[in-house]
Amino acid sequence: MEKELEKNGYRVDTEEFGTVKIANDVVAMIAGLAATEVEGVSAMVGNITNELMGKVGMKKQTKGVKIDILDGNVSVELAVTLEYGFNIPTTCNKVQEKVKNAIETMTGFTVSDVNIRIVGVKMPEDK
């Protein structure tokens, strides 16, 4: 399989049936969904534009995720809010592992790094 960068995505040539094109947003969506499946992660946090669009009902599934794909290697940056009471290093290690496994399993790309920026802690409602 040959992987080649295209505008807004990556093309994977297969020998049998043709070409598969994977958009960058698809890889970002996989990363965001995998991260939010980890216990202790409250939400993904995007930039101010994403936050404003979310308030008017236009939710973007890639919020808080930035990816770079170079020669089939994926570098991921996540911005997350964690829930209060969870161990930060342990939770972040679980997120890194889950995101790496999800991307590699679903796309066939190699994940070189998963960097996490914690932008907040969600307090319990009863406090």
The residues spanned by each domain of the chain are 24-122
pLDDT at 97: 98
Question: Cβ contacts of residue 108 below 8 Å, gap of 6+?
Answer: 1, 12
Q: What is the pLDDT along the chain (127 residues), one digit of tens a residue?
A: 445 555 566 666 666 777 888 888 899 999 999 999 999 999 888 744 444 444 444 445 678 999 998 877 999 999 999 999 999 999 999 999 999 999 999 998 999 999 999 999 999 886 5
pLDDT at 124: 85
CB 73 within 8 A of CB 113: no
What predicted TM-score, i.e. pTM, was given to this entire model?
A: 0.79
- Alpha-carbon span 12 to 71, nearest angstrom: 11
- CATH topology for the 24-122 domain: Alpha-Beta Plaits (3.30.70)
pLDDT at 65: 93
Rg (Cα) of the chain, in Å, rounded? Answer: 16
DSSP helix/strand/coil, 39: coil
